[in-house]
Chains A and B, each alone.
Chain A
Amino acid sequence: MPADAKLAKLQSGFAAYLLRGDPAVAGALRPDLPAGRLTVYRNTVMGSLATVLGHAHPTLHRVLGGQRFTMLACRFAAEAPPRLPMLWSYGAGFADWLAAADLAASELTIEIPPWAPDLARLDWAMHEALFAADAEPLDLARLAAIPLEQAGSLRLAPHPSLRLVRSGWTIHALWKDGDTVPAPLPEAVLIGRSPDDGGDGTVGGEVRCIRLTAADGALAATLLSGATLDEAVGSLIAGDETAGAETVAGADLQSLLALLLQNRLLAGFALDRPPSLTGREGNDP
């Protein structure tokens, strides 16, 4: 066996033990040392991954309780271990895994509440927002300079940290207070890092978590996917195809724009208009 292939086989076997408890690698150990020592490494790997997932999903961890969360996190880690040696980026798939997990046939008899995947999405959106790229907030003076008749052709450029989580449960209340019993009512949560000058020239920033009505959430989804203001208003009238007419009824474009601007969650805009010699305007980030 080539040299690297032999080492690769040993390392694959070690990984199989760490993730799934496959004991075959014990045969490669120094015989005078108890093979039970392997558990030290398995406990470190699984325990620290559960801790990492808990840090990225603090609300879900708090609401489910440490023991229940850790059991689910270890199961997820065994099925979907990290691919990158940057643990802050680990856990993007946890919410979807919770939504799809079929634990009925496993030894893990843990009930996953129906709102848990969306709460995990909210936690993850806040986590991602904290590490998202920096960008200057939209210059309001430039926005104000747009002639009123052209305002409808504005397309908004969200701050890189901006996330929208739409849920069938009242997860925002659960985020605010872990003792709340979530209700099966649709809503949306807007998440983003509000840029903040740290005062000494460094970039700070606080992650905001703002509840929207389901209707405003549908409107926000339209705007953040690149629709012009006119197109977004059109969706209000016609009924958004993806969201359904009943969910956009009652949406308030003006309030939503004010909220995005007040929280400095926009990074720029583009202005659609017929081609001209001066080209496209705006301050794209």
Chain B
Amino acid sequence: MAAAACSPLPRLVPVATGIGLREPHREAFVAAGSPIPWVEIHPENYLVPGGPRLAGILRVRRDRPVSCHGVGLSLGSADGLDPDHLMRLRALYDRLDPGLISEHLSWSVTDAIYLNDLLPLPYTEDSLVRVRRNIDHAQDAFGRRILVENPAACLAFADSTIPEAEFLAELAARTGCGLLLDVNNLYVSSINLGFDPAAWLDAIPADAVGELHLAGHARMTVGGEELLIDDHGSVVGDAVMALYADVLDRIGPRPVLIEWDNDLPPLDGLLAEAGKAQRLLDARMRQAEMPAKIPEVHCAG
């Protein structure tokens, strides 16, 4: 893989809590003096020819490391990846020089149609081969390592033969990609599909985990049964916070992100959530007597 372009900007994502920076908060974030050590964006929102949105995120990037969390690459597509989209992302990454790049273990493109959701994959040997090839393709095109995130699911396929955590571990082992452990997704899927999150965590290679995500979820009644929906529309629930603490105990401190996409609170509300996550992170770092440093595993290059 080619080396990422050199940049004088702060690049590496620190072991600290960041926030998913959404457009309604962008100006307030800069006006407040960028009051959080790093931010994460959805790169697709900035694949625009020009204008204030693109200029605005480049302005944010002058002050803070940025992580790019893709939602449209579709690592699980049977048709392979769209080379045009890979090049668009590559161009943005060359410009932003993100400290982390991540995508999802899911699919959203089929027959040249983009379905704007993170759709579930059957976990089979065939899928493993396809996703592995797609990750190789993406990492080659970007010249950077990516992190792959566990999805939130409410259904699964009869053909699935590989447990999700093993599927992710295999991908990391075979492609060199890292993992983005979304604690909320793990909790939501474990309740909806009925599996033990502790057993799931046992199968995840801790060294491969480069980032953690936290978010709120909703409870919804569908067809008479209650499901958890990963809607990123509220504070992080107590059960997810407890699982987050367990994850920190198991794998150690990592960059942590608060995601909030729907019913956005004022920026202060998001910062308060980040503060809660940071306090747990601080406690674990003190326990481990670990100075705030930037482990090599978090470099995207």
A residues near B (Cβ < 8 Å) are 3-8, 10-12, 14-15, 18-19, 28-31, 33-34, 36-41, 44-45, 48-49, 52, 81-88, 130-135, 160-161, 193, 198, 200, 202-205
Q: Is the CB of A49 within 8 A of B116?
A: yes
CA distance A40 to B159 in the complex (A): 21
**Minimal Cβ-Cβ distance residue in A for B131:** A7
Which residues on the B side are within 8 Å of A7 (C-beta)? 78, 121-122, 126-127, 130
Interface contacts (Cβ under 8 Å), in number, total: 160
Q: Are B44 and A11 in contact (CB under 8 A)?
A: no
- A61 shortest CB reach to chain B, Å: 17
The stretch of B104-112, B167-175, B269-277 in contact with A is B104-112
Known contacts A87-B116, A130-B52, A11 near B227 by CB under 8 Å: no
Q: Does B238 belong to the interface (CB within 8 Å)?
A: no
Asked if residues A81 and B51 are in contact (CB atoms below 8 Å), the reply is no
Cα of A45 to Cα of B113 in the assembled complex, Å: 12
In the bound assembly, the distance between CA atoms of A133 and B77 in angstroms comes to 31
**Which 8 pairs show the lowest CB-CB distances between chains A and B?**
A85-B72, A36-B223, A3-B126, A134-B50, A7-B78, A8-B78, A11-B110, A133-B49
7 pairs of residues in contact across A and B, judged by CB atoms under 8 Å: A14-B115, A30-B157, A36-B222, A48-B117, A85-B109, A86-B44, A132-B51
Q: Min CB distance, A88 to chain B, in Å?
A: 6
Within 8 A of A (CB), among B121-153: 121-122, 126-127, 129-130
Assess A4 versus B78: contact at CB under 8 Å? Given A30-B156, A198-B59: yes
Q: Say whether B74 faces chain A, with CB atoms less than 8 Å apart.
A: yes
Query: Are the CB atoms of B116 and A131 closer together than 8 Å?
Result: no
Residues of B near any A CB (own CB < 8 A) = 44-45, 47-56, 58-59, 71-74, 77-79, 82, 85, 88, 107-117, 119, 121-122, 126-127, 129-130, 154-160, 192-193, 220, 222-223, 225, 227, 229
Contacting pair A31 B44 (CB below 8 A): no
CA gap between A220 and B82 in the complex, in Å: 39
Contacts of B52 in A (CB 8 A): 130, 198, 202-205
Smallest CB separation, A89 vs chain B (Å): 8
Q: Is B71 a contact of A31 with CB atoms below 8 Å?
A: no
In the bound complex, residues from chain B placing their C-beta under 8 Å from that of A87 are 44, 116
B188 to chain A, nearest CB (A): 11
Closest residue on chain B to residue A28 by CB atoms: B157
Contacts of B47 in A (CB 8 A): 86
Indicate if the CB atoms of A29 and B156 lie closer than 8 Å. Answer: yes
Residues of A within 8 A of B222 (CB): 34, 36-37, 39-40
Contact A41 B119 (CB under 8 A): yes
User: Which residues does chain A contribute within 8 Å of B88, judged by CB atoms?
Assistant: 86
Closest B residue, CB atoms, query A3: B126
